[in-house]
Amino acid sequence: MELSGLQIFKYLPAAKKAENSNCKKCGCPTCMAFALKLAKQNAKIESCPYAPEELKSLYESSCKQPQNTVEIQGLKIGGENVLYRHEKTFINKTAIAIVVDKLENNWQEKLKRIENFEITRVSETMKIDLVIFKNFEELPTVKELRTMSFEDFKKLPLKEIIDEKFSKTSAELITIRQKAILEKDEKFAEPVYVYFKHTEDLNTLCAKASFYLCKYANMLVFENFDEALISTLMTLRQNIFTDPQKPLQVESKIYEFNNPDENSLIFMTTNFALTFYAVANELESLPVPSYLIVTPAEGMSVLTAWSAEKFTAVMVAKTLKKFDFANRVKNRNIIIPGLLAHMKEELEEEIENAGLDFKIVVGTVEAFAIGDFVKNLAPDTTAALKG
């Protein structure tokens, strides 16, 4: 169990109104400030000469890493500190490994498919994390992927669970993680992998592997290789292994769709990744080219950014200036999200104050409606639609 600042404070002189209270020898102005720093592991307990032995031993055990981290050629496995992502964040993604067995008839073709497999989602390109070669005297050469022999893999300090029955495997995974995190029991500190033997039933395999990915396999090892299965798992994994305190975001810049020119449509949104991809998908499929100006908003969606003052008229004017957009285009109409309709006048005023002559057009509330919106745009809104 991690100690909170308040739990630590109870042991310090100020809480007991003892001599030396708030003496500042630890470099902090008060004992409470020191306790809060310690709780975040931003201070050393030895810095306080008056910390009692009981606190030292409690703190030491609270700082102990509950799960080991195992590194395979730069791939980190394990090292988790929490049971639930929202408590802090998960640390190392559940690795996905494929076994290639020389006794399989079509192992060369399978290996080729593994080598060629890659998916890109939210600007992240993902490939198979590890290829494990079984029954090979000499390991085949593989480009850009980690490889190791089955024998070496079995020697790693990882706990193996061979998947047979869902209820048994899931219960075992949960027990191991709970013992490691809640009780810091060293017997359960090894990261865990689930081994799936070859099966024709890919739907069941996908359902089971998805559950184990969430709770609590550090690695999934498959004898099967199926692109659709792995794509599904990698997409799920990407959603689970994000820091809940840091929204997914894309770079703030001007994105181009279908080779725009100086007369093309101009859209604007914030850099929240999910908003960006929803809008980008629609712009890609428009029959006309377009620009998308993505403003910096710390990864917040449009309304959240507005209410947190991360999407302001001043910031919009600054973004246009920063990218020197007025000199890149002749079109002077910027389409903003419908949710920000109330900002139209404020935006136009600030843009004018910045010496620019863009006008604001209020667009759609939902991204899926962009196609119809563009069809019905007034002809003078953009030269791209003229003629």
Which positions touch ligand SF4 (CB under 6 A)?
12-14, 20, 22-26, 28, 31, 34, 48, 50
Per-residue tokens: 119: 């998916």
Tell me whether residue 6 or residue 341 sits nearer to ligand SF4 (CB atom).
Answer: 6
14 vs 300 by CB, closer to ligand SF4 = 14
Give every CB contact of residue 148 below 8 A, 6+ residues apart in sequence: 72, 73, 130, 131, 132, 133, 139
CB of 88: closest distance to ligand SF4 in angstroms? Answer: 25
Cα separation, 259 vs 377, in Å, equals 20
Is residue 196 within 8 A of residue 223, CB to CB? The reply is yes
- Short-list 258, 253, 256, 262, CA closest to 326: 262
Going by C-alpha positions, the residue among 172, 179, 165 that lies closest to residue 215 is 172
Is-contact 128 145, C-beta < 8 A? yes
Nearer to ligand SF4, 31 or 283 (CB): 31
Cross-sheet strand order for the sheet of 219-222: 147-149, 130-134, 95-101, 219-222, 192-196, 159-162
Residue 48: count of CB within 10 angstroms of its CB: 25
CB of 65 to ligand SF4, least distance (A): 25
Q: Which is nearer to ligand SF4, 23 or 214 (CB)?
A: 23
Question: Shortest gap between Cβ of 16 and ligand SF4 (angstroms)?
Answer: 10
**Least distance from C-beta 47 to ligand SF4, angstroms?**
7
Q: Cα angle vertex 169, ends 236, 87, to 5°?
A: 50
Least Å distance between CB 54 and ligand SF4?
A: 15
Report, in Å, the least distance between residue 2 CB and ligand SF4.
19
Q: Which residue type is seen at 229? A: L
Q: Looking at residue 364, what DSSP letter applies? A: -
Handedness of CA 161, 223, 112, 217 (dihedral sign): negative
Identity of the residue, 55 or 233, whose beta carbon is nearer to ligand SF4 in the bound complex: 55
CB of 27 to ligand SF4, least distance (A): 8
**Host H or E run for residue 221:** strand 219-222
- Tell me if 274 sits within 8 A of 248, measured CB to CB: yes
Residue closer to ligand SF4 by CB (options 20, 333) is 20
Contact 279/269 with Cβ under 8 angstroms?
yes
**DSSP 3-state assignment of 20?**
coil
DSSP 281-347: HHHHTSSS-EEEEEE--TT--HHHHHHTTSS-HHHHHHHHHHTTGGGT-S--EEEEPGGGGGGHHHH
CB of 31 vs ligand SF4, minimal distance in Å = 3
> Between 47 and 89, whose beta carbon lies closer to ligand SF4?
47
> Residue 73 in contact with residue 156, Cβ under 8 Å?
no
- Closest to ligand SF4 by CB, 38 vs 329, is 38
Of 48 and 347, the one with the shorter C-beta distance to ligand SF4 is 48
Please, what is the minimum distance in Å from the beta carbon of residue 157 to ligand SF4? Answer: 38
